[in-house]
Every structure is written in structure tokens, then in C-alpha cells.
Chain A
Amino acid sequence: MNIVVCVKQVPDTESPRKLKSDDNTLDRAAADGVINELDEYAIEEALLLKEAHGGEVTVLTMGPDKATDSIRKALAMGADKAVHLVDDALAGSDALGTSYAIQQVLGRTGFDLVILGAESTDARTGMLAAMLAERLGVPQLSLANKVEIDGSSITVQRITDYGYDKVEASLPAVVSVVEKINEPRYPSFKGIMAAKKKPVEKLGVADAGIDADKVGLAGAATEVVDFADAPPREKGQIVTDEGDGGAKIAEFLASKKFV
């Protein structure tokens, strides 16, 4: 089975994250880059599926040069090879442009299964899986917390507010995963050494057959028009219990739609 995992390098959520004031895009140089957390679960799931069913796991990353750190980590965890789509023309791409660019690369690598995290911790649009499936013309199985493969059919448990749905489709397909799905492994030192010898193919926009007009900031269909710092957290509300404390708390929770 040919499994492709889409891995995005994002600013470390532990470090301060900033937008650039000149073009309202993320300042990727300002913070340390790490693998988007949900993508680590996607990598782990791909490795588990490979261990159970055989095949090959390819890491696909679109991002600047320093995203190679994330690629090396994914390879050290056990992925077999990587494709790094890197080109200045891609900077500022929105979800639509990104899904188009990744579709073009997937056309080259081929795939039976594409796995990715359900959203990234930076842009948090959570739209890539759906856009990608639509562009590729294959089924999308979203928010999976369990994946099973039987021949050419795939079944996932899709988490919902009330439990889970069981969703079935035939391969090839796109699956997005949530953090309940597994426990990502650590790389090992042997994995780090092995990663040095694994192939990493670097592609530019032209190599991948991507129309440069459809990607990057200029090709984006959406625009961040303004941004502001998050307001400081407001003081909490203190409920004094005068015999009706329980009711007041229930009222508060209801007002926030928790109950």
C-alpha cells in the first residue's frame, strides 16, 4: 500500500507566534518550527498501517527550507521517504492554493491512502482534507479516531459530539485523524541514523507542474485583511453560594452552552 502522509511544519505552540505586518501572513522565521501535532498522529497511523499491511510511507511537506527538520523527524520515526515541495512562489498560499499544489505532487507520487492531521495549530482552517479529496475525486473520511483496512475497503470511526460514526469507503481515499487515534512513537537514535540515508526529493513549483499563478499570496482566493492581539483574559465570575449556588452555576454553564 502506498501511503502518503501530509506533514506541515508549524511554529512551536510553546513559543510566541506572530503575524507579519507587511502582508498579514505568519512570521515563520520568528518561532521554532515543529511538526504540527496532529500530523504526528497521522505519521504514527501510517506507520501502524504499514506494519499491519505492508507498503511504503511517504512524507509530503510543503514549506520553507527549514521544514527539512520536520521531514527528518518523520523519517526518523520510520517513514520510508519524503517529498519536499519548496519554492518562494508558494509563500502565503491559502488552503485552496495549498490543496491544489499538494494535488499536483500527489499526481506524481501516486497514492492508495493520504493521511493528515485534522487541522494545523497555526492557520486552523481544518479544510485541507476536504479540499484535497474533492480535487483528487476520492472519498474523504474525516476526524478518524480508528482506521481499519480490509483489501480495498477502508473503515473509520469518525468522532462526533455524541459518540462516533462508522464510515466506510473504498481506496484510494483521504483520511484526517484526531489525537485519540494513537500514541505517536518517539524516534530512536537508530531511526535518526537511518533517516540520513532515506531519499528526500525536493521539488519546486515548476518541477511539480504547478501553475504559479494559482498559488502564493498573489494566487490566494482569501485574504487576511486585518489582525489584532488577542484581548487579555477577563476576570472570572465568582458565584457566592446563598443556597442557590448550584442553580447559578448551571445557569452560567447553560449561558455558555456547556449544558
Chain B
Amino acid sequence: MPATRHLPTPESADLIALTREIAAKELTPRVDAAERTGTFPREVFATLGEAGLLSLPYPGRYGGGDQPYEVYLQVLEEIGAVWASVGVGVSVHALSCFPLLAFGTDEQRARWLPDMLSGTRLGAYCLSEAHAGSDPAAMRAKAVRDGDSYVLNGAKAWTTHGGEADFYTVMARTSDEGARGISCFHVPADTPGLEFDRPEDKMGLMGSTTATVRLVDARIPADHLIGQEGQGLSIALAGLDAGRLGIAAVATGLAQGALDAAVAYAREREAFGKPIIDHQGLAFVLADMDAAVESARATYLAAARLKDAGHPYGRHASIAKLVATDNAMKVTTDAVQVLGGAGYTRDFPVERYMREAKVMQIFEGTNQIQRLVISRHLARR
């Protein structure tokens, strides 16, 4: 059953219809095989880019769609409902475009943004390091100014699209001054000295490549610095709230997909002479799943509307990420339960949904970090 949506304009309704059509015709036929074999679907991102779905929340003057987050996130949710790896990829691509959009010069934006927003160039985002995940200020990767260039050295961990992307938005240290010594760089994929480890062998999201990116005397022109030297960490933090909303939307879609699969099965499958959905014990499990999906959606949309109206929304973004991903974990686990033994086999997609949900409680700030952010807001006097 498709999600019930109230959309602000007729064109946003058409946009959701377009997203559902592309999801049904381009994503659904590919998802099972790609997730099974760990194949990164680059061509899918090209299709999404051509349809304009990668540029929705950006200003029209850079080729963007001028759409509010309220609409963009629902598009992302529809993608996530069919293929979480692609939903995550779209969200990461948006995150990797953000520093240039918000802190780049007009010249930098004119030069790079149009290809990024059209999906011609796919992005990756390099913030975490092996020992600096939740605490990015502990990063060690260095960028040293050398004449008209910067020379980058270090290793960035857990990079989505690592080895597949066309550009990398990299945070690296330009001085030893802790949080104020980090800078942001635009690093094209063909930069000599950019190397990639073998992709991680993950529990889920096999269609999304995750790899460590190594910078070995990687030299980039000095005009590839985004913002000022030392501004990197505040640029990274500024992008996090929007990124969290993206993951909240993808997690909501994932949970909706799991709910739909569970309901379809429960209407078909009979036990004791009637469909199992007509047994109250199971029906109530499904009702709780539906309530969890709808409340996750309402929570991320409430945060998106605050953002769209220009209000502070950091606390709400963390709440949305926390609620949507915890709910997705619960809903996908229950979906396996509804399908019983069948749910535990790879003949049905729900076991995959359950594996995919787990990482959503971990990346874009673990759910413990979300609680930290929320509680720090509460403690402010």
C-alpha cells in the first residue's frame, strides 16, 4: 500500500508519481541481484540524475529544483522503500554537495555544482577516520600547503561510494589546533595519490560500496579548498542535521517496505483456516508496525518543515533520526517474525530489510550520539 501523503503543490505530487514510476521500473527489477552480488548500481544514479531527482533541494540558479526539504525527503523515502542502498547513496551525495553549496565561492559553485546536481558526477564524503568516528575533531589526515597546492595524506574510513565516486569532499587537518585546525577540500577522483582499500564486507547495504580512502601525497590545486582554512569542522557539523533528516527518510521508507511485505504475506498465508492477518495476535503486531512507520514519517516531516521555514531544527533532526531508525529496526525485525520461517530465508526480502535497518542506527551519528545531541539541547539554560 503506497504511503498516504499530503503534498504542498501539484508538481510535488507529480514528482512523487515520477519517483514511484522510476522505482518500480528501474530499482525493483535490479535490487535483489545487486544486493546479492554486491554490485554498485552506478547507472541507477545516472537515471535519477537525468530525472532531476538528485538536485531537488538546491537553488534553481545552479540547476536545482528549488524544492523544500518536506518534498525532497518524501522522494528520498520512496526510493528507500524500494532500495535502501540507493536511498543512502542519494543522501550521501547530497551531503557531499552541501559544503560547496553553502561555503563555496561563486566561481567554485559555477564550476562544479551543475555536474554534481545533474548526477553526472557522483559524490562521496570523507569525514570519519578509523579512530575518529563520533569524535571527528580527533582526525589525523593532514593537508599541507605547498605553493599553489595542498598535499593531502591520511586515511578516511567508512566512505560510502569509496572507489566509485567522481569527487570526494574531504575533511583534513591544516593545523594542530584541535577542532579549529580542520579544513574542507574538493578532491576529484582522478587525483594522483587517491587510493582505495578493498570495500568492506558488510552485513547489509551490499549494493552500496563502503571503503577506506587513502590519501598518499595527493596534490590538489589550492583553489580546491572550500571555505576558509580551519572552517572544516563547522562546515561538517553544519551539514550533519540535513544529513540526519535524509537518513530518517530512508529508514522510514525501509520500514514502509517491510510493513508492505509483511501485510501482503499476512493476507495470503492461512493458518487455522483463515489468513493470519485475521488472527488478533498477529494483526496487532502489524498495527504496531504501521503506527511506528507513520510516527517516524510525521517526526521527520515536522523537522523538515522547521528547516524549510528557517527555524533551528538540530534537536528535531536528531529526534527524527533516532525515532525513524529505531522504529525501522523494530519494524523490520517484526516483519521477519510475521513471515516466520519464510522470513528467515533469502527467498523473501524481509531478512535483508532487517540487516539494512541495523546500520541506520549507527551511521550519520550513532543513536547514542543523537541522544547526546538532544540531551545537550535540553540542558542548555
Contact = CB atoms under 8 A, between A and B. Distances in A.
Chains A and B bind each other: yes
Interface stretch (B45-53, B235-243, B336-344): B45-53
A196 interface: yes
What's the dominant secondary structure at chain B's contact region?
Answer: helix
Interface residues of A, number: 12
A192 interface: yes
A76 B10 CA distance: 13
A40 to B, nearest CB: 10
B373 interface: no
B165 interface: no
Contacts of B53: 189
Contacts of B102: none
Given A72-B14, A76-B14, A196-B11, A189 B56 contact: yes
Contacts of A192: 11, 14-15, 18
B11 A186 contact: no
Contacts of A186: 18, 21-22, 47, 50-51
Given A72-B14, A76-B14, A196-B11, A189 B22 contact: no
Interface in B26-85: 47, 50-53, 55-56, 65
Contacts of B11: 192-193, 196
Contacts, number: 37
A190 B14 contact: no
Interface residues of B, number: 16
Nearest to B65: A189
A149 B303 CA distance: 55
A187 interface: yes
A153 interface: no
Q: Choose among A187, A189, A192 the residue with the greatest number of B CB atoms under 10 Å from its CB.
A: A189
23 contacts: A72-B10, A76-B14, A186-B18, A186-B22, A186-B50, A186-B51, A187-B18, A187-B51, A188-B18, A188-B52, A189-B15, A189-B51, A189-B52, A189-B53, A189-B55, A189-B56, A192-B11, A192-B14, A192-B15, A192-B18, A193-B11, A195-B14, A196-B11
A73 interface: yes
B14 A73 contact: yes
A45 B14 CA distance: 22
Interface in B1-30: 10-11, 14-15, 17-18, 21-22
A189 B47 CA distance: 12
Contacts of B55: 189
Interface string A187-212: 11110110110000000000000000
Q: Choose among B15, B22, B52, B55 the residue with the greatest number of A CB atoms under 10 Å from its CB.
A: B52
Contacts of A187: 14, 18, 51
Interface in A36-85: 72-73, 76
B50 A188 contact: yes
B206 to A, nearest CB: 26
Interface in A181-238: 186-190, 192-193, 195-196
A192 B66 CA distance: 13
Contacts of A189: 15, 18, 51-53, 55-56, 65
